[in-house]
Structure 1
Amino acid sequence: MFPVRRIRPSRLLSPYVKAFEERVQRLDATVVLRPLPARTEQFLEFYLADRYRVRDIASGAIETAPQAVLVGLQTYRRVDVLLGGALRLFTIQFTPTGFSALFGPSTAQLTDRALAGGDVLGPEVALIAERLEAAPDLAARAAIIEAWLAPRALAQARDPIAWAARRMTALHGGVRVADLARAADLGERQFERRFTRAVGVSPKRYARVLRFREALRLKAEGVEAGWASVAQAAGYVDQAHMIHEFQALAGDSPERLMAAMAPARETVVPVVGNLQSGQPAGS
């Protein structure tokens, strides 16, 4: 198990950031492979010690991750990561529309990609990385990011697309696009265009990945024992439909994927604190 320490953002940032996370692990004599199937998370990750190595599924080429990497929503198993050495990672987990709201560019540009943070967000990312590395603990690192993102958050208006993405996430994709468009007071085509621009994929594709991730969670946490029960609980038509989706989104069967993911499975350590002030942390 890989422990994940997590702290929640302030109320000001909560529409844009789900959590700040820290992963610390030493694997001096071991290299662990972690498959990365389809997932909805968008995040900016800083490597404060050794870095991940990334293996491209199609070519087999292995590259070292940049010091800060910006990862968009992934619709299939594009890469695996190789974990080794002294790992200390700090991650900003964005809400579905959080990155787009804070930084402006269409999130669709990040879909199925992982880019050096500095290439997208500019040289300030390197300065933030230096401050994060010097900070004493997770709370201090979270405060650094709060101070960085707060001015951007203050400039944002309430967004019906952000609400719709949160609603779809909460229901694991089990909601009709037409119903969301109606609730957002938008035409269906307009809703789909705005959703794709803000989230990175169409509403239907986003729901597809959410359903897949829910099936993984149900099995990993033992909520449902058999795969037929998992398929039903996750909202698939039947087990055959679920198996087809696993092949499309992870390149493997459910059983083989779960076995491959087991050695690098993460476990969340209880929240170490939060930043609930309405003011930017560190102000």
Structure 2
Amino acid sequence: MFPVRRQRPSRALSPYVKAYEERVQRLDRTVVLRPLPARTEQFLEFYLADRYRVREIASGAVETAPDAVLVGMQTYRRVDIVLAGTLRLFTIQFTPTGFSGLFGAATAALTDQAFAARDVLGREVAEVSERLEAAPDFASGVAVAEAWLLGRVPTGDPDPIAWAARRMTTLHGGVRVADLARAVALGERQFERRFTRAVGVSPKRYARVLRFREALRLKTEGLEPGWAGVAQAAGYVDQAHMIHEFQALAGDTPERLIAAMAPARETVVPGDGNLQSRRSSPA
């Protein structure tokens, strides 16, 4: 198990930031491969000690991650990461529309991509990284991130797309696009355009990845012992439909993916601040 400290943001940042996380682990000579199947999260990650190596699935090429990386939503298993050495990571996980809300960027350009954060956000990322590296503990790191992001909170009315994306996330994709559009008083086509700009993918594709991640969660947390039960609970037509989606979004069968993810499985541990309760989670 890899320990993860997690803290929720302040109230002012809660529409934009899902959580702050810290991972500290000394692996010495152990090398761990972590598969990265499709996921909805957009995040900014700072490597404050040794950095991950990233293995591209298509080519097999291995590169070292930059010291701060901005990662968009991933709709398929594009890379795996190689963990080794001494790890100290600080992660800012954004809500579905949080990055676009704070930085005014259309997130479609981030989808299925990862960029050196400095190339996208400028010199200030390096300054934040230096302050995080100097922070004596997780709570101090959170304070650094909060001070930086609070200055970017926009004024004006909340974006209705943010509510719609949260609703879809809460229901693990189990909601009709037409119903969401109607709830925020938008035509379906207008809703889809605005959703894609704010979230980075279409509503239907977002729901597809949410359903897949829910199936992973149900299995890794032991909430559904059998795959047929997982398929039903996650909202798939049947088990064959679920297996097809695992192949498309993770490049593997459900059984093999779960086995491959096991060595790098994470567990949330108690820490400073308003932390969530302890629980295991898929990577």
CA distance in 2, matches of 1:272, 1:191: 39
1:239 equivalent to 2:239? Answer yes
CA distance in 1, matches of 2:258, 2:12: 37
* TM-fit CA distance, 1:104: 1.0
Partner of 2:212: 212
2:58 paired residue number: 58
- Give the Cα separation in 2 of the matches to 1:149 and 1:78: 29
Number of the residue aligned with 1:279: none
- Report the CA distance between 1:151 and its aligned residue: 1.9
Q: 3-state SS of the aligned residue for 2:12?
A: coil
Q: Which has the higher contact order (CA 8 A, sep 6+)?
A: 1
Unaligned ranges ≥5, structure 1? 276-283
For residue 152 of structure 1, report the CA deviation from its aligned partner: 1.3
The residue type equivalent to 1:259 in the other structure is A
Please tell me the residue identity of whatever aligns with 1:2.
Answer: F
Which structure 2 residues correspond to residues 33-72 of structure 1 after superposition, within 5 A? 33-72=33-72
Q: Is the 8 A contact 2:118 2:126 kept in 1?
A: yes
**2:97 & 2:271 partners in 1: Cα distance?**
24
Which residue is 2:168 aligned to? 168
Partner residue, 2:9: 9
Letter in 1 for 2:274: N
For 1:260, the aligned partner's letter is A
Q: Hey, what does 2:142 align to over in structure 1?
A: 142
Match of 2:257 in 1: 257
For the Cα contact (< 8 Å) 1:101–1:156, is it kept in 2?
A: no
Q: Which string of whole-angstrom CA distances, capped at 9 and with x for unpartnered residues, describes residues 4-38 of structure 1? A: 00111100000000111000001111100000000
Counterpart Cα distance in 1 of 2:149 and 2:235: 36
Cα deviation digits, residues 155-178 of structure 1 (max 9, x gap)? 353110000000000000000000
Aligned-pair CA distance for 1:96: 0.2
1:94-105 matches, within 5 Å, as 94-105=94-105
Contact 2:6–2:268 under 8 Å retained in 1: yes
Give the partner amino acid of 2:134: A
Q: Does 1:133 align with 2:149?
A: no
Structure 2: which 5+ runs fail to align? 276-283
Query: 8 Å contact 1:25–1:87 — kept in the other structure?
Result: yes
Equivalent-residue separation in structure 1 for 2:175 and 2:272 (angstroms): 33
1:215 is matched by which residue type in structure 2? A
- TM-score if structure 1 supplies the norm length? 0.96
> After alignment, is 148-157 or 52-61 more displaced?
148-157
Matched residue count? 275
Which residue in the other structure is 1:158 paired with? 158
CA distance in 2, matches of 1:169, 1:145: 24
Q: Retained in 1: the 8 A contact 2:70–2:116?
A: yes
Q: Secondary structure at the match of 2:13?
A: coil
> 3-state SS of the aligned residue for 1:93?
strand
TM-score (norm. length: structure 2): 0.96
CA distance in 2 between counterparts of 1:264 and 1:147 reads 31
